[in-house]
Amino acid sequence: MTTATLNLKTLEQIDVKGKRVLMRVDYNVPLDGERVTDDTRVRETLPTLKALIAQGCRIVLIAHLGRPKGKVNPKYSLKPAAGALEKLLGRPVKFASDCVGPVADAAVKALGPGEVLLLENLRFHPEEEANDAAFAKALASHGEVFVQEAFGALHRAHASTAAAAELLPGAIGGLVARELEFLGKVAERPEHPYIAVLGGAKVSDKLIVTQKLLEKVDALLIGGGMAYTFLKAQGIGIGKSLLEAERIDDARRILDEARKRGVELLLPADHVAAAEFKADSPASVTPAQEVPEGLMGLDIGPRTRTLFAERIKKAKTVFWNGPMGVFEMPAFAAGSKSVAEALAAATAGGAVTVVGGGDSLAVLAQTGLGPKMSHCSTGGGASLELLEGKLLPGLKALSR
């Protein structure tokens, strides 16, 4: 069984009129105290919520936030997310201080047609991550229909995404449907030339997806910290740059596989380097691919930016996951910004561009280029596992 062969219903294919809908959402949003600093994931659920409200549904939202490790921790309360949703939705959003038990049951029972309720963090209960059957049954009792809109949690076999979804008639919402449409294009039916751009800190985080992408892409562009393990595997000096020594052999295998398949694998040709991992550390551009001793590469250099942009410009399909450098520090943000600009230009030229991963989306937020992409995925881990060919538990649970 694969994602393509699953029998998934969309919201339009099930009867929800006037019913109590249990909707799993991904409101794992960044907070500054009690303020939501990026409401993207909340905004993405608005179309489905408005469609359910129009049908007179009683809507019960369930979600997680952070890693409270199965214990109640006010730092991870979803109450700020309820406030953000209320502001975006333009109507009251009720909040309950638990997701199961008497408090939750009473709040659900009090819901009227078209009203929205957000329950407290699922992960305040250890049973959530354990995919506990009794906990799932308690969650499922809140609804007559289950709607899955938490794409970023679909790769987790947790009670709210797997066991509870199996207990009710269910469907995927518009957000998940859109994710599957665009990720399906890059995973199963890309138009060529197809280019993947991978970055971020570690080879180990993207080892499987890199191997899978080699079967599909025409070119693979690698930047970020993970590039230095590949450079080291070729015997190129990397100075004090980030290195996963235990992954050098894996990097060599990927380089060999790319050669065998005729896939162009591009690594940084120059770097923006510094002596220390600090925002105010003096930065310089290396004249060549080698990073001098005593320095660490913290971004791709200007020649690499041009090289990558030229390749992206020729593409019909582009997938990007992971920044090209330490984009949070202004001195080392130019590489990631240049990739974002190249993808925006490719989109304008008719290419399908899909961006996944929290850091890549943060680059787009920083540059304001998110709307210029064909699709920005709300789930980094889930998007990578789909591209790896894995069957996501949250989707399998909904297949009837």
Nearest CA-CA partner of 353 in 366, 337, 367, 369: 369
Nearest CA-CA partner of 199 in 268, 273, 264: 268
Q: What is the separation of C-alpha 323 from the centre of its chain, rounded to a whole number of angstroms?
A: 13
Instruction: Kindly name the residue from 316, 381, 389, 390 that is annotated as catalytic.
Output: 381
Are 397 and 159 in contact by the 8 Å Cβ rule? The answer is: no
In what side-by-side order are the strands of the sheet with 20-24? 93-96, 116-119, 58-62, 20-24, 145-148, 170-172
CA distance 282 to 169: 59
358 tagged catalytic: yes
Nearest CA-CA partner of 267 in 232, 231, 299, 296: 231
311 tagged catalytic: no
Are 151 and 386 in contact by the 8 Å Cβ rule? The answer is: no
Nearest CA-CA partner of 392 in 211, 175, 154: 154
Nearest CA-CA partner of 119 in 52, 58, 62, 45: 62
Q: Is 397 strand, coil or helix?
A: coil
CA distance 84 to 75: 16
Are 178 and 184 in contact by the 8 Å Cβ rule? The answer is: no
316 tagged catalytic: no
The token pair that represents 206 in the structure block: 């993207």
Give the start-end residues of each E strand in 275-378: 284-285, 296-300, 317-321, 352-356, 375-376
Quick one: which H or E segment has residue 266?
strand 264-266
Q: Is 166 strand, coil or helix?
A: helix
Instruction: Kindly name the residue from 19, 41, 185, 206 that is annotated as catalytic.
Output: 41
Beta bridge partners of 371: none
Instruction: Kindly name the residue from 152, 358, 379, 380 that is annotated as catalytic.
Output: 358
**Separation in Å, CA 356 to CA 143, 197, 257:** 31, 11, 24
Instruction: Kindly name the residue from 202, 252, 303, 316 that is annotated as catalytic.
Output: 202
202 tagged catalytic: yes
Residues with catalytic roles: 41, 202, 358, 381
